Amino acid sequence: MTTIPTETRQPGKASLLYDPKIRGYAYQILLLAVVGFLVWSAASNAIENLRAQKIASGFGFWHNAAGFDVNQKLIPFSASGSTYGQAFYVGLLNTLLVASIGIVLSTFLGFFVGVARLSSNWVLAKLAMIYVEVIRNLPLLLQLFFWYNAVLKPLPDARNSIALPGSIFLNNRGLIMPNPQFGPAFQAVVVAFFLAAFAAIAFYIWSKRQQERTGKQYPNGLITLGLILGLPLIVYFLAGQPLSFDLPQQGRFNLTGGLQIYPEFVALLIGLTTYTAGFIAEVVRAGILAVSKGQTEAANALGLRAGPTLKLVVIPQAMRVIIPPLTSNYLNLTKNSSLAVAIGYPDLVQVFTGTVLNQTGQAVEVVAITMAVYLTISLVTSLFMNIYNKRMALVER
């Protein structure tokens, strides 16, 4: 009987060079060193260059007098008495204004076009397709130039304004509309509106519960409409109509009075709305197509008609697909509103990264603040998006 000598083999001790853990540490330390070196050399160069160019650093400029004027402003701002800090807020508010209106309008237009592309109406579907293809395949900047330089600029000058019904005038300085003047009693109307909105929401919740318990349905839409329109109207008349209009007057050379909407704003709004609507239309179309045909057929088999099928079965499921890309389109719209600088709308980039940067020369601070603003908007939105996604995600077993 031969005994085979059992060789006790130790697992070969690999050299440290091949230990994945050690390698991992080494890579990371190397990367940190490279990034650290880049940051350090950039910072030291920046300090050196700024000193050579005699540019101040720090945020002291925030309280310095601005010395320029801005045409469209939502808060008081003047060349003589305002600071760069106030200019920042003027720009930020203008950005938020055009972005929020643009988001609302592009959502409506986008949903309409998206549904139209799926319509059985051949002419409508083709027209919607042409719209989407053209809008999505042209640079936004070209579209903005088109709206501003080719559509709004050639409008007649103030003396030959186009008069529209309702004391609205259109000329190359923009759209001049009656300026609503709110009397002090108008607050009551605002309060009534919010009360009505709350009441409508409460009624909606109550009616939904009622329906789940008893099966009885209530005319939700009509009652909501009645509450939200009716209550403020009643209060408005009870308070003695506390709303008057400052009508624009056609003078010899110019229009006086009224509310002026600047062509830059209109061009940017139209451009952003139509551009983003093209993308939203595709999102909506994809969302609706993502709901499988079996769902519609099952709803039909249960006896639901076309309207309730869409409202109760297709749209709730499509929304789950639509909402995330829709939000990123809203973010894109907000970021794209920075193209305002090309047509001179005083948004954050135009006022702050343009004029303020040129006047102070403090590139690092100004660009950092601007980026921080956009970054905050993006991150907050994606935070809410993640919360929403968690709530809406399919609960799987």
Partner 1 sequence: MTDATIENAPYAFVRKETLPQESPPLSVAGPLAWIRANLFSGPVNSLMTLVCVYIVVTSVPDLVRFYLIDAVWSGANRDACLADKVGRPVGACWAYIADRFQYFIYGSYPIPQRWRVNIVFAMFALGIVWLLWDRMPLKKVGFFFFFVLLPISAYLLLLGGPAAEGFLRTLLILTFALMAIYLVLSFVPGLARFWIGPAFLAVEEALPPWKRFYRVKRLILLSLVVLGVIAILADSAGLPRVDTGLWGGMVVTFLISAVGIVFSLPLGVMLALGRRSRLPIIQFLSVVFIEFVRGVPLITVLFMANTMLPLFVPQEYSPDRLLRPLVGVALFAAAYMAEVIRGGLQAIPKGQYEGAMSLGLGYWSMMRLIILPQALRIVIPGIVNTFIGLFKDSTLVTIVGIFDFLRTIEATLVDPTWATPTTRATGYAFAAVFYFLCCWGMSRYSIAVEQRLAAGQRR
Supply the minimum distance, in Å, between the C-beta of residue 394 and partner 1.
Answer: 19
Distance CA 79, CA 73 (A): 12
Residue 293 φ/ψ, nearest 5 degrees = -60, -30
Footprint (CB under 8 A) of partner 1, residues 352-371: 353, 357, 363-364, 367, 370-371
CA-only gyration radius of the chain, Å: 30
Distance CA 383, CA 322 (A): 17
Distance CA 132, CA 125 (A): 11
Query: Measured from the CB atom, is 122 or 253 closer to partner 1?
Result: 122
Footprint (CB under 8 A) of partner 1, residues 85-104: none
Given 111, 262, 374, 388, the residue binding partner 1 (CB under 8 A): 374
Ramachandran bin of 361, using left for φ above 0, alpha for ψ from -120 to 50, beta for the remaining angles: left
Q: Is the dihedral of CA 80, 85, 88, 93 positive or negative?
A: negative
Ramachandran bin of 282, using left for φ above 0, alpha for ψ from -120 to 50, beta for the remaining angles: alpha
Distance CA 376, CA 381 (A): 8
* 3-class DSSP state of 220: helix
16 binds partner 1 (CB under 8 A): no
Query: Measured from the CB atom, is 41 or 211 closer to partner 1?
Result: 41
Query: Measured from the CB atom, is 52 or 394 closer to partner 1?
Result: 52
Q: How far is Cα of residue 201 from the mean position of the Cα atoms in its chain?
A: 25
Supply the minimum distance, in Å, between the C-beta of residue 38 and partner 1.
Answer: 9
Which of the stretches 65-73, 188-196, 234-242, 339-347 binds partner 1 when contact is defined by CB under 8 A? 339-347
Q: Are 217 and 241 in contact (CB under 8 A)?
A: no
112 binds partner 1 (CB under 8 A): no
Pull the structure tokens for residue 144.
């903005």
CB-side neighbour CA atoms (13 Å) of 16: 3
Query: Measured from the CB atom, is 231 or 285 closer to partner 1?
Result: 285
Footprint (CB under 8 A) of partner 1, residues 157-186: none
Pull the structure tokens for residue 281.
């239309």
Given 120, 253, 395, 396, the residue binding partner 1 (CB under 8 A): 120
42 binds partner 1 (CB under 8 A): yes
Footprint (CB under 8 A) of partner 1, residues 241-260: none
Given 16, 19, 22, 24, the residue binding partner 1 (CB under 8 A): 24
- Spell out the SS3 assignment of 291-318: CCHHHHHHHHHCCCCHHHHHHHHHHHHH
Query: Measured from the CB atom, is 302 or 380 closer to partner 1?
Result: 380
8 binds partner 1 (CB under 8 A): no
Query: Measured from the CB atom, is 134 or 164 closer to partner 1?
Result: 134
Tell me the β-bridge partners of 164: 168
Footprint (CB under 8 A) of partner 1, residues 122-161: 122-124, 127, 133-134, 136-142, 145-146, 149-150
How buried is 177 (Cβ within 10 angstroms: 0-12 exposed, 13-18 middle, 19+ buried)?
Answer: buried
Distance CA 96, CA 108 (A): 19
Which of the stretches 9-17, 22-30, 81-89, 240-248 binds partner 1 when contact is defined by CB under 8 A? 22-30
Residue 206 φ/ψ, nearest 5 degrees = -60, -45
Given 74, 104, 379, 392, the residue binding partner 1 (CB under 8 A): 379
Supply the minimum distance, in Å, between the C-beta of residue 350 and partner 1.
Answer: 10
378 binds partner 1 (CB under 8 A): yes
Chain position carrying tokens 């006022």 = 351
49 binds partner 1 (CB under 8 A): yes
Pull the structure tokens for residue 288.
């609706």
Given 158, 239, 259, 342, the residue binding partner 1 (CB under 8 A): 342
336 binds partner 1 (CB under 8 A): yes
Query: Measured from the CB atom, is 260 or 336 closer to partner 1?
Result: 336
Q: How far is Cα of residue 288 from the mean position of the Cα atoms in its chain?
A: 23
Supply the minimum distance, in Å, between the C-beta of residue 282 and partner 1.
Answer: 11
Residues that bind partner 1 (CB under 8 A): 24, 27-28, 31-32, 35, 41-42, 45-46, 48-50, 52, 119-124, 127, 133-134, 136-142, 145-146, 149-150, 335-336, 338-339, 341-342, 349, 353, 357, 363-364, 367, 370-371, 374-375, 377-379
